[in-house]
Structure 1
Amino acid sequence: MAKTMWNAVVAAGAVAVVTATTAAPAGAATGGVSYSQVSVNGGKPIVIGIQEVVSVPVTFRMTTTRTWDGPPLFLLYRGELGDLGPNNLYSGFGYSDDACPTEGRGSCVVDDGVLDIDPKGDIKGNGYAGTWKSSALLHIPGEDLFTDLNHPVQVQRATRVTVNAAPEPVVTGKTITVTGKVTRANWETHSYQGYAGRTVSLQFKADGASSYTTVKKVTSGSTGSLKTTVKAAKSGTWRWNYYGNSTAGAKASTGDHVIVWSGVRVMHAR
């Protein structure tokens, strides 16, 4: 299908970052316009780092008794609905010409919308993390119709977690020291910085097992550092897992495999 890109520009110069639950109920009708079947990012929070552009899938259905002269747009706001001040963000996205044309009336379905979010150009500060409200804007000849979609929107700063388990290999019953670090994206300095005071789970997956099991929980230090000790019992993989919060995304480290052996040497006769 032919694609068209329509870019909306907010007063603050930012693009929207949105998320919602799949198959959400219709938004309250406003001026003869309602929305349903909303799905943004598959219902998951949108986690944004410091450099990579994040492409977020968007789908929804709009129904109206009015004639529009511009396809509908999703918006985020923290103030009053329709207030285009600094507490309101919105974005353009791709849509199918035959599904939601520039001009029309009745219903249309956006089934291939994409929000491209550039943390260096679209995110203006760490204050963008948190819960937003979602709405939609439809251009009607002579006016703009704003509809509250009644869905909370979660925007999160990306986290990173590292791990190192030593010594490798280790004798059964000896001590394994597991270290690491949890950091969080700073959208103002465009760097990852230590995330202090976070509860992070140390997890282990024995060789042959299909999943990780939490062994203990550790609180990160002032620089985001993680450190604990465990007794070597069997060979397997260790990792740190941070479950995130309302403003920071969840993240697990890669795994660090440690071989555990009995320490007994077998002598072979010549």
Structure 2
Amino acid sequence: MRIRATVAAVSGALALSALAVPAAQAGDRAVPSLDKPTAAEVFGLGAEAPRAAARVAVEEPVISKVVINGGKDIVLGTTASKTINVSVTASHPAGIVDGYIDLWHGSDVETDVDGWVMPNEEVANCTSSSATTATCKMTITIVPGADLYMNALAGTWHVSAGVLAGDETSVAYTDYYSTARIQRLSKVTVNAAPEPVKKGKTITVTGKLSRANWETGTYKGYTGQSVKLQFRKKTSSTYTTVKTIKSNSTGELKTTATASVDGYWRYSFAGTSTTPTVTAAGDFVDVQ
């Protein structure tokens, strides 16, 4: 019998107790206690089984593919949770009957884990493509302010992946199968003025680049970032970059340009490892 649900319950209790009792702080949020399960715990192979439980198996399953969130970065704002799809494909002569994937943040799974999210399901939904190969699907729900209790958790996370063969003894498991990115949702605004404006006159284009702050549950200005000012004519469907500016100490954007023809102005941010790309909807300026 799998004990994944028990692991989840214990981890949840630890997180709740950490929130109730003063601990190391990230902003005004407590850091939860994190203790990742071993392969034996994940698949219920008994407390005596080592983390590398597959070493005692006659033949270890072979993991051929792991997909996290359809291969896309995972982006979260300040309050709404997000449930992502994950899957692991593997093969073994006895087939595959269960799979496991979790995401964790830190430098070492034994000594330095400061973030961890695990599957919602106690047992994965495995679909066989042959007598030996199956793809096991699960979901993972991530909650900003709880799972993502500090902004330093934005960026690269490790992916743990494991499978249990049809003999219910042979296991493949690694805490370092691949990586995935969890990012802080970004926003950008734009306003071009005056409207309307005479041809050849100067317009001022303002806006703000901000991103989710998981520690405060609000959006804060993203400072010192390069942002492109772009324009497209009313008769065109293509934007071109006019200039690149940097957001100021509060994330504000401001620059000027010459109005020559009717069209749309916008700001576009290329993104970073911790923050996704974002582009404002164009603001139309009537040139007379």
TM-score by length of 2: 0.71
Deviation at 1:68, TM superposition (A): 7.8
The one-letter code matched in structure 2 to 1:230 is A
Cα deviation digits, residues 24-59 of structure 1 (max 9, x gap): xxxxxx641332232222322211110122232323
Matches within 5 A, 1:194-209: 194-209=221-236
Q: Per the alignment, in what secondary structure is the counterpart of residue 42 of structure 1?
A: helix
Contact residue 79 and residue 87 of structure 1 kept, 8 A? no
Residue 216 in structure 1 maps to residue 240 in structure 2: no
Opposite residue 204 of structure 2, the aligned amino acid is T
Query: Is 2:203–2:256's contact at 8 Å kept on the other side of the alignment?
Result: yes
Matched, 1:122 2:140: no
Worse-superposed segment, 72-81 or 123-132: 72-81
Q: Name 2:213's counterpart in structure 1.
A: 186
Question: What RMSD, in angstroms, separates the aligned Cα atoms of the two structures?
Answer: 3.3
Greater share of residues in helix: 2
After the TM superposition, which residues 145-156 of structure 1 pair with which residues of structure 2 at under 5 Å, given as runs?
146-148=173-175, 150-156=177-183
Deviations 1:86-130 (A, max 9, x none): 346231145774628xxxx9532135x332222133212111112
Which region of structure 1 is more displaced relative to structure 2, 196-205 or 114-123? 114-123
CA deviation profile, 1:6-41 (whole Å, cap 9, x unmatched): 695356478x9xxxxxxxxxxxxx641332232222
Name the CA distance, whole Å, in 2 between partners of 1:71 and 1:123: 25
AA partner of residue 278 (structure 2)? K
Structure having the higher strand fraction is 1
The residue number in structure 1 matching 2:101 is 73
Report the Cα distance in structure 2 between the residues aligned to 1:69 and 1:84, rounded to whole angstroms.
31
Distance 2:229 2:212 in 1: 22
Aligned partner letter, 1:249: P
Change (3 A) 1:191 1:153: same
> Are the structure 2 counterparts of residues 124 and 7 from structure 1 closer, same or farther at C-alpha, using a change threshold of 3 Å?
farther
Look up the match of 2:257. Answer: 230
Cα shift at 1:253? 1.4
Amino acid at match of 1:121: A
In the alignment, the residues of structure 2 paired with residue 230 and residue 137 of structure 1 have an alpha-carbon distance, to the nearest angstrom, of: 56
Query: Which ranges in structure 1 are unaligned for 5 or more consecutive residues?
Result: 17-29, 262-270
CA distance in 1, matches of 2:124, 2:169: 24
CA gap of 1:96–1:131, structure 2 versus 1, over 3 A, is closer
Structure 2 residue 135 is matched with structure 1 residue 109: yes
Paired residues of 1:166 and 1:258 also in contact (CA < 8 A): yes
Question: CA separation of 1:244/1:125 partners in 2, compared to 1, >3 Å: closer, same or farther?
Answer: same
Contact 2:98 2:163 (C-alpha < 8 Å) held by counterparts: yes
Q: Which amino acid aligns with 1:171?
A: K
The answer to whether the Cα contact below 8 Å between 1:181 and 1:194 also exists between their aligned partners in 2 is: yes
- Name 2:26's counterpart in structure 1: none
Which one is further off, 200-209 or 172-181?
Answer: 200-209
Corresponding residue number in structure 2 for 1:251 = 278
Equivalent position SS for 2:189: strand
Task: Tell me the matched-pair count.
Answer: 238
Task: State the percentage of identical aligned residues.
Answer: 35
Q: Distance in 2 between matches of 1:8 and 1:249?
A: 32
In structure 2, the residue matched to 1:21 is none
- Determine if contact 1:33/1:66 at 8 Å carries over to the other structure: no
Give, in angstroms, the shift of residue 252 of structure 1. 1.0
1:136 paired residue among 161, 164, 172: 161
Post-superposition CA distance 1:154-212 (Å, at most 9, x none): 12111111110001111110111000011121110011111111111111121121221
Q: Partner residue of 2:83?
A: 55
